[in-house]
Chains A and B, each alone.
Chain A
Amino acid sequence: MSADFRTCPTTGLKVHAQADRLIKANAVVGVVALLIGGIAALLLLLTRWQVVHLLPADWFYRLLTVHGMNMLIFFILFFEMAILYFASAVLLNSRVAAPRLAWFSFWLMVAGALVVEWTMFTGRADVLFTSYVPLRATPWFYLGVILFAVGALLVVAIFFATLIVAKKERTYTGSIPLVTFGAATAAIIAVITLGHGAAIYIPTFLWSLGIGNVDAQIYRLVWWGLGHSSQQINVAAMVAVWYLLGALTVGSVVINEKISRIAFTLYVLFISMAAAHHLLVDPGLPPTWKVWNTSYAMYLAVLASMIHGFTVPAGIELGQRLRGYTKGLFEWLRRAPWGDPGFSALIFSIIIFGFVGGITGVTFGTEQINIIAHNTLRVPGHFHATVVAGTTLAFMGLTYYVIPLIFRKKVAFWPLARIQPYLFAAGMLIFSVAMTFAGTFGVPRRHYDISFAQAPFDFQFSPAVDLVMTAMAIGGLLAITGGAIYIAITVWSVFFGKPLEAEVKA
């Protein structure tokens, strides 16, 4: 058995060879999906920027579907599968339970993703990410999504099985680390999410074959049980990565295990139905339902994020203070390793997620305020701050540690890697704030032409809109440059990077 393990010279952790390989495979496929979604992002941006207005209408909507699926589903879930293997097998010094099933699940997810890509690029599924019934895609689209989801569900099962194996084989003492606990909550939310996914995609698949019917409002209700909860997987995984990056970069401490773990648990308990805030101005649901399911009277999931928003920086602060950075209020922050892309990505992720994504999200998710936000650019402004500047940036920061720790390679183009988080964060900040502003003027999301050139009635937005849309384009181009640098670094390091010195086998 021991030949299957190596000991990490940096962390002292015992790493199972299968965990190594599974993490690599999932991360690589995730980055490929990011590349596809990123190219789509560039073309979409250059279309919505009316000065260029690059694509024809059909390809705009087609690539919008491609962008959504690749970024929100394929990239992020493949990356999260890698995190699940890392947080279970690696952090607990354990072997991966059922490695053959793990590889089967991986290939199932790849197959599902490929089927979906094929249907989208051939114009068989121009239904956007949400695929609201009765818009109809080819049955293969829904089938591809189902295959992918089944694969992801199996990986989640292997994650839990690995936790059990580690416990039984006593590969660690005490309780599981906080990062593993956070990943476990992400995994539990993934089960809830994929349950909703099955509940809606299976009937929709049958409907696309002509069997049965799917009510348009019920579809929206159940679909958002998938669509929103899946973002909550991202939040839980991102917060786990915050604690992880804090530990790796500055040795941040856990201020209070109890509070941090309760906060993670609140995500599980109070988020699944909070999909309600996508339905606040829908005709099928009464106001009592809307108010209750947005908040459960206490907004405990928001409370959870506000707690992590304190405990993560406080853990960094206390860790730094205990290592001697005690002067004034902010020496701990000033003297932090700002040249470490893992650290700068962590800080920008927290700030933009909280200040832009968090505040706008809770505000737009208020029943009445949603009237002036629903389906405007305010909504993608919000979620690009959470899922791109928040989750994706945190994952990028983690990558600079995964390359040496798991791939055993040096990070290529190191000077570029040091500035990459700055570039990406600045771009996403400008982009998401500008988008949110444009939405305040009522600019619709998912819209090909806001000059309404060919429409039966004319409409001219306030001249201020031209200005903010230009700012959005500049921010977007900056962020895409940052994203391209990230992909170049990752691909070059993994395939052509200098290997680290050989190490002792365990």
Chain B
Amino acid sequence: MHTGIQSPQGVWWKPVRGGEKLWVGIAFAWCLVLFAMMPLWHLRGGQNPSGIRSKVDPQAFMARTQEFIRTYQVGTENGIPVVEPPPGSDIYLMGMMWSWQPVLRLRKGAQYTLHLSSFDVNHGFSLLPFNINFQVVPGYDYGLRITPTEAGDFRIVCNEFCGIGHHLMIGRVIVVDESEPAAAGASSGAAIGGGNL
């Protein structure tokens, strides 16, 4: 036998043997499993990044978000409007240097279509402490059907570098129980502790 720095002489196209053959077979089978899980999760799983995708002009998205805020605003917090849209509705969240507009008040167990886009540069939607992450790209509307499964006070951190104020960009999502009355107004909650994962 020879090493990898020696030129093989003659024909080196030889049959695979023993343990190597077995391993190539096992590894290939595993690779097929890795592939199959993705379509399978689309059919059976509850978390997929598919969404309703379309191009949108940043100005138009800004206008839509402002219309959304005007319609459902219930308060203001730290200068950011708080909105409480009805369950089942289309909701808008816009990333801009360096804030998330608006603060959302959602209902546990209800489905919403969350439209994500950016007014300026790329941002990263990261819902904490759940750790749900999506890329927010200017010029594109990412419409994700979401169902909050837990009540609580959550944060949206920006996890795509967007300039010098990147680390100041933090938004808020409040999820209330089905039983709670509507438009209670946004109360400033204490910090939430603990990772869920």
Closest Cβ–Cβ distance, residue A391 to chain B (whole Å): 17
Stretch at the interface among A70-78, A424-432, A437-445, A470-478: A437-445
Contact mask B1-17 → A, CB, 8 Å, 1/0?
A: 11111111110111011
Partner-contacting stretch, out of A30-38, A143-151, A307-315: A307-315
Of B49, B141, B192, which one neighbours A280 at CB under 8 angstroms?
Answer: B49
B159 A446 Cβ-Cβ under 8 A: yes
Contact, CB under 8 Å: B48 / A368 = yes
| B155 and A177 form a contact (CB under 8 A) | no
Q: Which residue of B lies closest to A447 (CB)?
A: B167
Cβ of B34 and Cβ of A440 under 8 Å apart? no
B35-A297 in contact (CB<8A): yes
Minimum CB–CB distance from B42 to chain A (whole Å) comes to: 7
The answer to whether A461 and B129 touch across the interface, beta carbons within 8 angstroms, is: yes
Interface membership of A331, Cβ < 8 A = no
A175-B12, A216-B122, A456-B99 known; A318-B32 Cβ under 8 A = no
| Complex interface: chain A residues within 8 A of B60 (CB) | none
Task: Select one of A303, A371, A446 contacting B132, CB under 8 A.
Answer: A371
Contact B99 A291 (CB under 8 A): no
Count of chain A to chain B residue pairs whose CB atoms are closer than 8 Å in the complex? 291
The reply to whether the CB of A457 lies closer than 8 angstroms to some CB of chain B is yes
- The distance in angstroms between the C-alpha atoms of A139 and B197, with both chains bound, is 43
Cross-chain contact B2 with A61 (CB below 8 angstroms): no
CB closest residue in chain B, given A442 = B131
Q: Is the CB–CB distance between A61 and B166 below 8 Å?
A: yes
Using an 8 Å CB-CB cutoff, how does the interface string of B105-133 with A read, 1 for contact, 0 for none? 00000000000110011101010111111
B4 touches A252 (CB 8 A): yes
Given A253-B3, A256-B16, decide whether A374 and B133 contact each other with a Cβ distance below 8 A: yes
Q: Does A455 contact B (CB under 8 A)?
A: yes
Interface size class of B (residues with CB under 8 A): 35 or more
Count A-side interface residues using an 8 Å CB cutoff.
102
Q: How far is the CA of A461 from the CA of B192 in the complex (A)?
A: 8
Q: Which residues of A contact B10 (CB under 8 A)?
A: 174
| Min CB gap B31→A, angstroms | 4
Inter-chain contacts of B172 with A (CB < 8 A): 457
Q: In whole angstroms, what is the CA distance A505 to B117 when docked?
A: 67
Contacts A299-B31, A459-B170 given; does A374 touch B124 at CB 8 Å: yes
Contacts of A370 in B (CB 8 A): 49, 133
B130 CB to nearest chain A CB (Å):
7
Chain B residues near A318: list those with CB within 8 A.
1
B99 pairs with A244, CB closer than 8 A? no
Residue numbers of A with Cβ under 8 A of B are 11, 57-58, 61, 64, 91, 126, 128, 132, 134-135, 172-179, 182, 215-217, 220, 240, 243-244, 246-248, 251-260, 279-287, 290-291, 294-295, 297-300, 302-303, 306-307, 310-311, 314-315, 318-319, 322, 362, 366-368, 370-376, 440-442, 444-450, 452, 454-465
Excluding A174-B9, A175-B8, A446-B160, 8 further A-B contacts by CB distance (< 8 Å) are A240-B4, A244-B5, A291-B38, A368-B41, A370-B133, A373-B133, A376-B126, A376-B159
Can you spell out 26 A-B residue pairs with CB atoms less than 8 angstroms apart?
A135-B161, A216-B140, A217-B140, A243-B4, A244-B5, A246-B3, A247-B6, A259-B16, A260-B4, A282-B140, A283-B137, A284-B53, A284-B137, A287-B48, A287-B49, A294-B38, A295-B35, A302-B34, A306-B31, A371-B132, A447-B166, A455-B170, A456-B80, A459-B157, A459-B170, A460-B191
Nearest 3 CB-CB pairs, A to B?
A: A243-B4, A283-B142, A444-B159
